[in-house]
Structure 1
């Protein structure tokens, strides 16, 4: 199945998605990080905190995102709740690719890049192992533009 599949999955309304993001960040803060991060497992992607630098403000920014691991790399999808614009965290990473992530078990420094070609297709297909039911190709039909797949590579130090 390609990213132009004809099935349109149902997603919650935008206001619900945005509220869920705010609540998730709040629960993480209130619990001192005991709630909010998780390792990926079959049928369920992991959750991490990404620390970026604002592309215009230069201020620290934090987002909680879904991920899976591909060897030493962390894989993200820049899909903004399947809304049309790219998420701010991806725009920040394009301007300042050095970042850090908090994951279960610790933090690490990373450098971001967008996967291309065969690598992108392999990693895109890899998301289906963490999603029960609807395929990523079906979700991709919700956006007119191609959803970037982001690779966070470890940085020494």
Structure 2
């Protein structure tokens, strides 16, 4: 179940074409919808992202908690999800970014959002960096889903 804070962010994001104010003003934000591993139900999570070399990158930091966030486990288990960026919505598949790139990407992310500066120091685990790759159809076109999930949050 989505917590009240995330529900407010999701509603504001969708009502304003991907823009969210207050603490997210000026911070790139996307919505990632995955299917729950156990429930099979859709789970939508607002995530700060980094755009780099045409990629949308998200960090499974979970605020530096010892465990990765639920969205990460759901996304990797399903091998697919749906992303909303601005007013665009499309299917994605996750690709883990090689650890050799982590330091450069982490530096870019902390420059963009200072909150990330402390996350690695709070945990012993390597924080996965995931590229959300636009899914394509067999004909090479983009798979755009207006309603990929049976439920909407």
TM-score bracket relative to the smaller structure: 0.7 to 0.9
Q: 1:64 aligns with which of 31, 38, 46?
A: 46
Q: Which runs of 4 or more aligned residues in structure 1 lie more than 6 Å from their structure 2 counterparts after TM superposition?
A: none
Task: Say if 1:45 and 1:68, in contact at 8 Å, map to a contact too.
Answer: no
* Structure 2: runs of 5+ lacking an equivalent: 137-142, 144-153
What is the root-mean-square deviation of aligned Cα atoms in Å?
Answer: 2.7
Alignment of 1:1-157 (within 5 A): 22-29=4-11, 31=12, 33-35=14-16, 37-38=18-19, 44-132=26-114, 136=117, 138-156=118-136, 157=143
Aligned length: 132
| Deviation by residue 1:22-42 (Cα, 9 ceiling, x = unmatched) | 32422533x582259349xxx
Q: Does the CA contact (< 8 Å) of 1:72 and 1:154 recur in 2?
A: no
State the TM-score, normalizing by the size of structure 2.
0.72
Segments of structure 1 that go 5 or more residues without pairing to the other structure are 1-20
Contact 1:83 1:143 in 2 (8 A): yes
Q: Which protein, 1 or 2, shows the higher relative CO under an 8 Å CA cutoff with sep ≥ 6? A: 1
Q: For the residues of structure 2 that align with 1:118 and 1:70, how far apart are their CA atoms?
A: 15
String of CA shifts for 1:62-96, please: whole Å, max 9, x gaps: 11111021233211010112222110000001101
TM-score (norm 1): 0.71
